[in-house]
Amino acid sequence: MVFRNVIVCHMVPGSEGIVGDVFGYYDKTTRPQDLGVIGRILLSHEDLYIHVIERDQDPKVSGQTRGLPAFQKIAEAIAPYVTPYPSYWKNPSDSVAKEFYRWVPDGEASVETTLIVIIGRIKPGAEPDVARIFAESDAGSLPVQLGITGRWLYSIDDVYVHLLEQDASIAEAARENHDKKPAFAKIMADLSPFISPYNPEAWRGPAREFYRWRADS
C-alpha cells in the first residue's frame, strides 16, 4: 500500500523545468528511500505547484520526514520559483494539504493504474459535505464503471486537490464518456455549491505532471 502526502505552493509559471531538474539531481545523488520515500510526482496547474510524495509507511505512524537528506539545499534552490500558498504559512509543514476523504475498494488492485490530479477551489469548511457526497457516490456503481481504483481528497486554504487512481487501460475512454453518465452528472451537481474551478476563466483540465521519480525496486 502506498501512503501519500500532498504539498501545495505557488510556483512561477514556466519554471517547471528548473524545479524538476533540482529534484532530479538530488533524487539521483541521494537516497530518499532511506527515509521511506518511494516516489514523488511534481505537477503544475495555473500558478500552483503540487508535490505528491509517496511513502511505504504511514507517516502518521512512522513520523514526518522532509523526504530528502538535502531538503534545505532543495528549498534554497527552488525558493525563487516556489513560494508558500497558505495565508497562514509559518513553517514548511503548513504547505502540506490535509486529507479529508479517501476511498479504495476492498482487496488489492490487480490492474495497472494511472494517477490523475484534479485541482479546484473549495468553500471554506465544506470538507464534510464534499466527503459525504463522494462517500455516497463511491458506495454505488460509478467507480466500477469508470475504472476507479482509489480516491483521495485534500484541502489547503481554499485549494481542493483530488487524487484519482484509475485503471490505465480505460482511463482515457472513461474521461471522455463520464459526463454522459447520470450518476456523474449528479455528483457534479451536488458538488457545485462547494467546489468550483481554480480559475473560472480558463478551465485547463487536470494538473500537468512535469517530474516523476520512483525508487529502485
**Between the CA of residue 87 and those of 82, 159, 192, what are the distances in Å?**
15, 12, 25
CA-nearest of 44, 61, 46 to 7 is 44
Antiparallel, parallel or unpaired: β 159-167 and 208-214: unpaired
How does DSSP assign 124-168, residue by residue?
TT-HHHHHHHHHHHHTSSHHHHTTEEEEEEEEETTEEEEEEEEET
What pLDDT sits at residue 134?
97
Element (H, E) at 196: strand 195-197
How far, in Å, CA of 29 to CA of 191, rounded? Answer: 44
Mean pLDDT of 84-93: 92
Residues 6+ apart with CB under 8 A from 208: 43, 44, 45
Q: Give the start-end residues of each E strand in 70-142.
A: 82-84, 98-103, 113-122
Q: Which of 41-55, 72-86, 104-118 has the lowest mean pLDDT?
A: 104-118
Which residue in 39, 23, 14 sits closest to 215, CA to CA?
39
Lowest-confidence region among 8-17, 138-147, 184-193, 205-214: 138-147
Higher pLDDT, 14 or 72: 14
What is the structure's pLDDT at 70? Answer: 81
Residue 185 has pLDDT above 80, yes or no: yes
Nearest alpha-carbon partner for 3 in 38, 30, 49: 38
Q: What is the pTM assigned to this prediction? A: 0.90
Task: Write down the pLDDT at residue 168.
Answer: 83
How buried is residue 63: exposed, middle or buried, by Cβ count under 10 Å (0-12/13-18/19+)?
Answer: exposed
Q: In this predicted model, what pLDDT tens digit does every residue of 139-166 receive, in sequence order?
A: 998 898 888 999 999 999 999 999 999 9
